Chain A
Amino acid sequence: MILQQIINGISIGAVYAMIAVGYSLVYSVMNFSNFAHGEVLMLGAYAGFFAMTSLGLPLGLSIGLAMLGGGIIAVTIEKIGYSRLRKRQASSLYFMITAMGFSVFLQNFAIVTIGPNFRSYPDVFPITPYLLGNIAIGRLDVVIFLITIIALSLLTWFIYGTKIGTAIRATSYNPKVASLMGINPDLVIAIVFFLAGATAGLGGVLFGIKYTVYAWMGVLTIKAFIAAVVGGLGSLPGAVLGAFVLGITETFAAGYVSSSFRDLFSFALMVIIIVLRPGGLLGTVTQEKA
């Protein structure tokens, strides 16, 4: 029974990991929480949905479209909003408010144009799960897990193994020095947002396939934040670890206590980490320089 819960926790954790990684990526370079991240994932989920249902495209292509769409939307948000705040060296309060503005705008725009109904992705995989002894592992969950592993591996290779990735990491440590080294911060930030948007789009599709697509999916930003905080804000491996911890915690809470209190446990988890280990499980607390 416990093992089953763990498996369930891991499968939702994989989706959370996809979402949290993009969130942490933006945080590591921009040092602020992009509250509009969830709306990008929502739009990606819808993009994939309509690609499959209205355009009849196969799953792989739909995912690609969702990722592309997510990336483009994220970069657009950055260019319209955040880049101007950056130029003005606005405080993080303004960034958060702007993010909230985008979130409210996109969410309600979706409600008005696409509609408030819940949409289901068509069943792409047979429902019968794999059976490992007493444990049922959904085929869908296996696919989601594999896709997540592949995507995260690619992302890791990109960030740690390529020149652009090094530029991204340099900018996240010290933007001024990075620009002195010939790195164009605007370009780096655009790439980062594209990656974050693409992973959000992918996460949105995966979530949509596993559950449903709806205009309020943006609330998953909170899950992304909690996962990132638990693992260590700004740390990519931390976001992944945090996501799995979150997924397992939620599943156990829902299974053994009550499903309506599930979200309460997610917040409680975050509060515990904040109080006991503010840097997160993997992160370190960075101090502000004077």
Chain B
Amino acid sequence: MAILEIKHLSKYFGGVIAVEGFDLLLEEGRIEAIIGPNGAGKTTIFNLITGIYPPSEGEIFMDGHKLTGLQTYKISGLGISRTFQNIRLFPDNTVIDNVSTACHQQANYGILEGFIYSPRRIREEKEIRKHSLRLLEIAGLADRAQENARNLPYGHQRRLEIARALALNPKLLLLDEPAAGMNPEESQQLMVLIRDIKKEFNLTVLLIEHHMEVVMELSDYITVIDFGKTIAKGTPQEVQSNQKVVEAYLGIGE
């Protein structure tokens, strides 16, 4: 069953073609990747999926729901979580609060209960705390729960962002360059983390990445973009040997 369906997606910024004619059929339970040179339009696609701005053309469906035109918070509420290319954490918030804030599934108490400590609130806050610590453990950050997020080293920040994204209990996880700035060892740990959470939380993952080993090892299927247009699609082996891809990248390969 296709969890994400993108049909003929295009985005123009004035005269600039950011994305043109992008198609994707993402089956449930797969890990797929979008790769391409810098500025090719990959993050724009993520932004379009999550509703940061509307597409100029095309439609996006998730589980049959039409996403195009919905506001970002509604789309996140439907089960799509993402991380950001430039890391968007809540810097002056603690590590655990970064995750707790996203624990909407565990909490339902209303605005009025925000003013008093009702039994329901106390109960739900306990749940939230439990769930947050669990996620921090998975991300290897439980011992730093009370630190301010801005004080974490870079690699830890990326993992915190993933932990936060998981707190929403998503069906689809969009990761925007999760391995950026990581050394080979950290990239390995990241790959293990992604595989683990995919299994444990039954996720479908769509990945943007420049680290080629990460992409080739993790992905079931890859779409290659250049200048906003799709230039190749296929399994990792097919894509690696595709002449157009090699040309577009010219020397990428780590």
In the complex, whether A1 has a CB less than 8 A from a CB of chain B is no
Which segment, of B26-34, B45-53, B232-240, faces chain A? B45-53
In the complex, whether A163 has a CB less than 8 A from a CB of chain B is no
Residues 222-259 (chain A) with a chain B CB within 8 angstroms: none
In the complex, whether B43 has a CB less than 8 A from a CB of chain A is yes
- B34-56 CB contact bits vs A (8 Å, 1 = yes)? 00000000010011001011000
- A258-290 CB contact bits vs B (8 Å, 1 = yes)? 000000000000000000000000000001111
Contact residues in A for B46 (Cβ distance below 8 Å): 290
Residues 51-65 (chain B) with a chain A CB within 8 angstroms: 52-53
Chain A, Cβ-Cβ closest to B52: A290
Main secondary structure, interface of A, reads loop
Contact residues in A for B53 (Cβ distance below 8 Å): 287
A285 to B: closest C-beta gap in Å: 10
Q: How far is A192 from B43 in the complex, measured between Cα atoms in Å?
A: 32
Contact residues in B for A288 (Cβ distance below 8 Å): 52
Q: How far is A287 from B47 in the complex, measured between Cα atoms in Å?
A: 11
Q: How far is A213 from B84 in the complex, measured between Cα atoms in Å?
A: 51
Contact residues in A for B47 (Cβ distance below 8 Å): 289-290
Chain B, Cβ-Cβ closest to A287: B53
Q: How far is A290 from B53 in the complex, measured between Cα atoms in Å?
A: 10
Contact residues in A for B88 (Cβ distance below 8 Å): 290
Chain A, Cβ-Cβ closest to B54: A287
- A167-204 CB contact bits vs B (8 Å, 1 = yes)? 00000000000000000000000000000000000000
Q: How far is A289 from B176 in the complex, measured between Cα atoms in Å?
A: 13
Q: How far is A289 from B85 in the complex, measured between Cα atoms in Å?
A: 11
Q: How far is A290 from B43 in the complex, measured between Cα atoms in Å?
A: 8
Chain A, Cβ-Cβ closest to B86: A290
A286 to B: closest C-beta gap in Å: 9
Please name 5 pairs of A and B residues whose Cβ atoms are closer than 8 Å in the assembled complex, sorted by A: A289-B43, A289-B47, A290-B43, A290-B47, A290-B85
| 5 closest A-B pairs by CB | A287-B53, A290-B52, A290-B47, A290-B84, A290-B43
